[in-house]
Structure 1
Amino acid sequence: MIVPQLSTETLVQRLRYPQGKIRVVIDTDTYNEIDDQFAVIYALQSPERMQVEAFYAAPFHNELSDGPLDGMEKSFDELHRIMKVLGREGEVPIYRGSGMYLTGTNMPVESEAAHDLVERAMQAEDDDPLYVVAIGAITNVASAILLEPRIIEKIVVVWLGGHGLHWPDTREFNLFQDLKASRVVLNSGVPLVLIPCMGVASHLLTSLSEIRDYVKDKGPVGNYLYETYRRCHDDHFGYTRAIWDIATIGYLNHESMTQSALISSPALSDEFRWSVDPNRHLIRYVWNVRRDVIFQDLFRRLGEG
C-alpha cells in the first residue's frame, strides 16, 4: 500500500476542532453492546452540528454473535430498528460492512460499507473533510484506506479504540478484534482522533435510575433506550455502566466536552501494548471526557425533535 504522506502542517490543520456543521458517517457494531444505540441516536439528534450521511454495520464476535459476519448482520438489523423507532426509516442509508477481519495489513475486505466510504470520501472538498465516527472494530475503515489510500486526504477518523496510553495493555474490544486493521489505521497517517476506553471514556458511567429519570419519558426513543439499558444487567442495585461510544459524539458536538492534545501516533505491539515513537506522525489524543456535560447534552437532545 502506497499511502499519501500528509505534511505535519496539514495534519495539524485537519486535527483542529471542526467549526460549523460537519458531514459524518458512523461505523458501528450496533448490536454488540448498548452504547452504540445511544451514540447513534445522539448523533441523529444533533442536526445543527452534524449531517449524518450513512451508517456502516461493523463486524463483531462475542457471546451475542456466532462470528463477525453474524455480528455485522445483527448490527445492520439493529440500525434499521433504531431508524424505525425514530420514525426516520429510509432517511439515512445503511450499508453492510465486512463479514470478517483483515487477514493481512495489505489485504482489504471488500464490502458495501468500504466502497461507499471510498466513494463518499473522494467526493469531499479539500476544505470540507468527511468525519468517520468509528465505534467498533476498525475493519471497514481500514479496508477503505487499503482500497483507496488517497482517502486519507479527504477524511478525519474519530475512533473509540484501545485503552489509555498509561494503561498496562490495550486489549480493548474494538482494537483487540482486528489487530491488523488497527495497525493499518494507526500507521496510515490518516488524520485520527483517538478516544481510549479505559482511563478516558470509562468515566461515562450512568445508572438505571438516571436513565429512568432523564430518558424514559422522551417518547418512543426514550422508552427504547430505557429498555435497552434495563435489559443489560440482571441486578441494577448500586450498578452503573459505561456508555462509552457517546464520547465520540460529545467530542464532535462541542470542544468543551473533552480535553485532548496532539501526540505522535502510538505503535501497537503483537502483545497489544502501546509504544511511543516521537518520529511518527501526529494524531489527536483525547485524554479526558467531561462526563456530566456530555450526559446533560445527550439528555436535553432526546427531548428535542
Structure 2
Amino acid sequence: MTNFLPYEVPESKKIRVIINTDAKNEADDQFAIVHACLTPRFLIKGIIAAHFGTERTQASMEESYEECEKILSLLNMSEDIPLYRGAQQAMPDEGTPILSKGAEFIIQEAMKEEQSPLYVIFLGAITDLASAYLIEPRIADRMTALWIGGGQWPEGEREFNLSNDIDAANVVMASLIPLWVVPRNVYSTIRVGLAELALKVRPYGDIGNYLFQQMVDFNHSAAGNPRFPKGEMWSLGDSPAVSLLLDHHEYAYEMKPAPRITRDMHYIHHQKERWVRWYNEVDARFTLEDMFAKIALFAANRK
C-alpha cells in the first residue's frame, strides 16, 4: 500500500497484527478492520473470518469471510492481505479444538522467528485462539491476544462474543497467553451518531460510503427490536482493539486474576496465579478521530 499519510512510522515501532473478526455479525467490525488496515504501525499479516453462532444463520463464518473479501476489495488490498477461514462453530468442550485454516495460521505466524512482536485481535468469539493454543501450546509466549468480549468485572454478565463460545473463553483464561480484555461496559462507550458518520465517514470514497450505508442498512434490518439498536447511534465496540495497539492506555487497565466463566456468563474467582490485563476505559476521542482522519486521508490520496 502506497503511504497516504504525511509521515512515516519507524520500522522499530511496527508490530505484526492478525485480525480475527465476525465481520458480518453487526456493523462495527467493518470500521475496526478498515482502521487497522489504514494504520502504518501495523504489519497486517492476515485476517481470519470468525463465526458468530447459529442463532441467525448456519453459515456465519462464511458470511464473515465474504464481508472481509468485500472490505479488502473496496480498500484495493485483496492482493496484499491474506484472508483465512476460521472455525465454523464453537468448540464442543474445553478439550476439543476446532481445526481451521485460521487456527493453523495463528500457529504458523506465532512460531516464526521475527523481531516485531505479534498481536492477535479478536473482535468476536475466541474459538480460533483457544483451538490454536490446544493444538500448539508453545504459541503462548510468542504472541499477545486482545479480546473484545466478556462482561463487567467482577460479576460478569451476558455478552454476545462470549456467548458464542464460553468453552473457548475458559481455555484462554486458563492459558498462559498474555491477554488484554476489553469488556462490554468499556467497549460500549465508543459511541458514535449516524449524523457524525454521515459527516466524517460517508463522503470519503467507496469505503467511506460503504461503512456508513451498511450501518444504516443494519439499523433498519433490526427495526423490530425495541431495545437494539437505538435508532440513531451505535457503539463501535470493536475499535478499541485498534486504538489500544496504537497506545496501550497505561493508566486505563488493571492486572486481574483470570476468572472461570459459568454457562450463564458470570465470573467465578478462585485462582491467583493467572493474571490478565483488564481494561476499565478506552479513549473514545482518540479512537474515533484517528479512524476518521485515516479514512479521509486515504480517500484523498486515491482521487
TM over 0.5, shorter chain = yes
Q: Tell me how far 1:271 sits from its aligned partner.
A: 2.7
Mark the runs of 5 or more structure 2 residues left unpaired by the alignment: 1-11, 224-228, 299-303
2:98 maps to what in 1? 109
- 8 Å Cα contact 1:57-1:75 kept in structure 2: yes
Q: Tell me how far 1:163 sits from its aligned partner.
A: 1.4
Deviations 1:45-69 (A, max 9, x none): 111x21110011111125542x2xx
Q: Tell me how far 1:239 sits from its aligned partner.
A: 2.3
2:53 maps to what in 1? 61
Structure 1 residue 173 corresponds to structure 2 residue 153: no
- Once residues 297 and 187 of structure 2 are traced to their aligned partners in structure 1, the CA distance between those partners, rounded to angstroms, is 25
- 8 Å Cα contact 1:124-1:154 kept in structure 2: no
SS of residue matched to 2:145: strand
Deviations 1:183-228 (A, max 9, x none): 011111210001101x111111111100001101111111011111
Question: Which amino acid letter does the alignment assign opposite residue 95 of structure 2?
Answer: N
Q: Percent identity?
A: 31
Mark the runs of 5 or more structure 1 residues left unpaired by the alignment: 1-18
- Once residues 119 and 130 of structure 1 are traced to their aligned partners in structure 2, the CA distance between those partners, rounded to angstroms, is 12
Structure 1 residue 84 corresponds to structure 2 residue 41: no
Normalising to structure 1: TM-score of the pair? 0.87
Deviations 1:161-190 (A, max 9, x none): 111214x54321111111111101111121
Question: Which amino acid letter does the alignment assign opposite residue 34 of structure 1?
Answer: A
Superposition CA RMSD, Å: 1.9
1:224 maps to what in 2? 210
Structure 1 residue 134 corresponds to structure 2 residue 122: yes
- Once residues 129 and 255 of structure 1 are traced to their aligned partners in structure 2, the CA distance between those partners, rounded to angstroms, is 14
- 8 Å Cα contact 1:251-1:258 kept in structure 2: no
Structure 1 residue 296 corresponds to structure 2 residue 281: no
Q: Tell me how far 1:238 sits from its aligned partner.
A: 6.4
Q: Which of 256, 281, 292 matches 1:263? A: 256
Normalising to structure 2: TM-score of the pair? 0.87
- Once residues 33 and 152 of structure 1 are traced to their aligned partners in structure 2, the CA distance between those partners, rounded to angstroms, is 30
Q: Which of 170, 173, 187 matches 2:174? A: 187
Q: Tell me how far 1:278 sits from its aligned partner.
A: 5.4
- Once residues 280 and 264 of structure 1 are traced to their aligned partners in structure 2, the CA distance between those partners, rounded to angstroms, is 7
- Once residues 159 and 194 of structure 1 are traced to their aligned partners in structure 2, the CA distance between those partners, rounded to angstroms, is 5
Q: Which of 235, 240, 249 matches 1:242? A: 235
1:121 maps to what in 2? 110
1:30 maps to what in 2? 23
The alignment covers a number of residue pairs equal to 280
- Once residues 98 and 87 of structure 1 are traced to their aligned partners in structure 2, the CA distance between those partners, rounded to angstroms, is 26
- Once residues 170 and 261 of structure 2 are traced to their aligned partners in structure 1, the CA distance between those partners, rounded to angstroms, is 7
2:183 maps to what in 1? 196
- Once residues 124 and 270 of structure 1 are traced to their aligned partners in structure 2, the CA distance between those partners, rounded to angstroms, is 38
Residues 194/237 of structure 1: CA separation in 2 closer, same or farther (3 Å cut): closer
- Once residues 88 and 30 of structure 1 are traced to their aligned partners in structure 2, the CA distance between those partners, rounded to angstroms, is 17
Deviations 1:235-288 (A, max 9, x none): 799621111000111111123498112221122123311133451312111110
- Once residues 63 and 279 of structure 1 are traced to their aligned partners in structure 2, the CA distance between those partners, rounded to angstroms, is 36
1:144 maps to what in 2? 132
Residues 85/145 of structure 1: CA separation in 2 closer, same or farther (3 Å cut): same
Residues 257/280 of structure 1: CA separation in 2 closer, same or farther (3 Å cut): closer
- Once residues 291 and 25 of structure 1 are traced to their aligned partners in structure 2, the CA distance between those partners, rounded to angstroms, is 23
Structure 1 residue 20 corresponds to structure 2 residue 20: no
- Once residues 249 and 136 of structure 2 are traced to their aligned partners in structure 1, the CA distance between those partners, rounded to angstroms, is 34
- 8 Å Cα contact 1:57-1:94 kept in structure 2: yes
Q: Tell me how far 1:115 sits from its aligned partner.
A: 0.8
2:201 maps to what in 1? 215
1:158 maps to what in 2? 146
